[in-house]
Amino acid sequence: MTLYLVAGEASGDARGAELIRSLRALREGIEIRGFGGPQMAALAEPGAVHDWIARAGVIGIIDVVKQYGYFKSQFNLALREIAREKPDAVVLIDYPGFNLRLAAALKKAGTTAKIIDYISPQVWAWNQGRIPKMAKILDLMICIFPFEKPLYEASGLKTVFVGHPMLETLAAKRIPGPREENLLGLLPGSREREVRKIYPVMLETARLLAANHPNLRIEAAAPSDAMRQRMEEIGREYPDVSCIVTVKTAHELMQRATAGMVASGTATLEAAYFGLPFVLLYKAAWLTFLIGRRLVKVKWLGMPNILANREVVREFLQEAANPPAIAAALLPLLTDPTARTALQANLQPAIARLGAPGASARAAEAILGR
């Protein structure tokens, strides 16, 4: 059996690797090909999975336009490989801008492969009208949020809810012990553009808090050594802010910090899972933000708030992400145990809606038709 997987971001690479392991646990001899990152490539034959994450993991319309030629060439390469290899199924992991176009092209070309989408695109947030079109180009939708299943099923698309895959990975990363007092955690994201826009806001907010909270300690988590160096460069522009930057410690920091600032994205769900009292920040290129604001139909950006159907975590977006306002919201979380406990209690029901651990195993069963 041959499966062709396509992931375009670091999170998709992690989900793809989990899926590969689960598939092989259920059935021996599965050949894996496609596009992904280092984790997926390490589980396949040499050269069978193109590691393109460093270039593919862009954010925003502007970055995509700048790399149009590259994406077009990779798109055509994927089509040629699928036509040549004739896999039993093509599994598209998140990354909807690329993957849904690929699905449409494959369907138009008359592929015999089953086309499966794992981790459904958030069209419920910006364009539910696309769901009937997706039903025509996909054979199976595997979703990770419970409210997605009825939306896709209403269009006639076979849909399976498997739960959120992060539950099985984060459970093993829990660390014992209480939170450290007076520790502020900064989690500015993993993309260079995000860090460049959001990290300075976090540092300035930390500076304001430290002025009235002399015992405050500040730590930031970077996803790589290269990003740590970039964050330290930015930090030198704030000489009165003492911030320690460590590498690949985000999950530990979420559990050690008294409170934190988290860039919008998967990290907000991870922070909620670990019970970090935090506020959410997001700043994008203005064109990207303006287009997004016109399209998005949900009230909140953070998934913990979407799951709770209310603003449990304070959101500071674009021009509202200003240090004085953020500092005012964070101060109670740093100084008042009651405020922290209340926020943590409100996060628990949202996380409970993500289902039980074992999402990748259930996804593998759905792909294999079990």
- In three-state form (DSSP H/G/I as H, E/B as E, the rest C), the secondary structure along 71-125 is HHHHHHHHHHHHHHHCCCEEEEECCHHHHHHHHHHHHHCCCCCEEEEECCCCHHH
pLDDT band at 54 (very low <50, low <70, confident <90, very high): confident
> Which strands sit side by side in the sheet containing 243-247, from one edge to the other?
243-247, 217-222, 183-187, 259-263, 278-282, 315-317
Whether the CB-CB separation of 218 and 202 falls below 8 Å is answered with no
Judge whether 229 and 162 are in contact, CB under 8 Å.
no
Question: Does the pLDDT at position 165 exceed 80?
Answer: yes
Question: Could you give the maximum distance between any two Cα atoms of the chain, in Å?
Answer: 66
116 band by pLDDT with thresholds 50, 70 and 90: very high
346 neighbors 272 (Cβ within 8 angstroms): no
Would you state the pLDDT for residue 28? 92
Residue 369's contacts (CB-CB under 8 Å, 6 or more residues apart) are none
Give the pLDDT confidence score for residue 126 in this predicted structure.
60
State the pLDDT at residue 295: 46
CA distance 327 to 154: 44
Q: What is the pLDDT of residue 147?
A: 86
Least confident of 55-64, 75-84, 109-118, 227-236: 55-64
Q: Which residue has the higher pLDDT, 191 or 140?
A: 140
**pLDDT tens per residue, range 259-312:** 999 998 889 999 999 999 999 998 865 445 544 454 455 577 888 998 888 999
d(CA 243, CA 222): 12
Can you give the pLDDT at residue 299? 75
pTM equals 0.80
Residue whose pair of structure tokens reads 């101060």 in the numeric block? 331
The per-residue pLDDT for range 331-353, each reduced to its tens digit, is 999 999 999 999 999 999 999 99
pLDDT at 296: 52
pLDDT (average), residues 10-26 = 94
Q: Could you give the domains of the chain?
A: 2-164+356-367 (3.40.50.2000), 172-352 (3.40.50.2000)
Write down the pLDDT at residue 293. Answer: 52
Identify the pLDDT of residue 297.
54
Average pLDDT, the chain: 91
pLDDT of residue 286: 47
Question: Distance between CA 260 and CA 253 in Å, rounded?
Answer: 9
Q: What percent of the chain has pLDDT over 70?
A: 93
Q: What is the pLDDT of residue 291?
A: 43
Residues 78/102, Cβ–Cβ less than 8 Å:
yes
pLDDT band, very low/low/confident/very high, at 138 (cuts 50, 70, 90): very high
